Amino acid sequence: KAGVTQTPRYLIKTRGQQVTLSCSPISGHRSVSWYQQTPGQGLQFLFEYFSETQRNKGNFPGRFSGRQFSNSRSEMNVSTLELGDSALYLCASSSIGRGRVQETQYFGPGTRLLVL
């Protein structure tokens, strides 16, 4: 079974620009979560989608948004980029369903974003 894929792997943008990152989950997985990792910080939860609906959101400004498509692929968008948005962005998928015991998340390789 193919793993979680993320594109692009590396990205350089300038302040004020916007960026869209893509995540394709493992086939059959319907839950996709996004995380940000910056030096010295643990993985910070951004949001989680299930069946095209955002079920939970972390404490990030509204510049960070996401969506999920009917095939479970997900995109994350950051508008008006700031220097502090430079980070590794990871997505993770799981087959978690409503009311079921939470299952393991499988992570993608990440997208490394550098904002200049």
Which residues sit at the interface with other proteins, rule CB under 8 A? 3-4, 31, 33, 35, 40-45, 48, 50, 55-56, 58, 90, 92, 96, 101-110
Min. distance of Cβ 17 from other proteins in angstroms?
27
User: Considering beta carbons, is residue 7 or 80 the nearer one to other proteins?
Assistant: 7
Min. distance of Cβ 14 from other proteins in angstroms?
26
Min. distance of Cβ 103 from other proteins in angstroms?
7
Distance CA 116, CA 109 (A): 22
Of how many residues is the chain composed? 116
User: Considering beta carbons, is residue 16 or 97 the nearer one to other proteins?
Assistant: 97
**How many Å separate Cα 30 from the centre of its chain?**
14
User: Considering beta carbons, is residue 56 or 80 the nearer one to other proteins?
Assistant: 56
Q: Are 2 and 104 in contact (CB under 8 A)?
A: no
Q: 3-state class of 44 per DSSP?
A: strand
Distance CA 7, CA 19 (A): 12
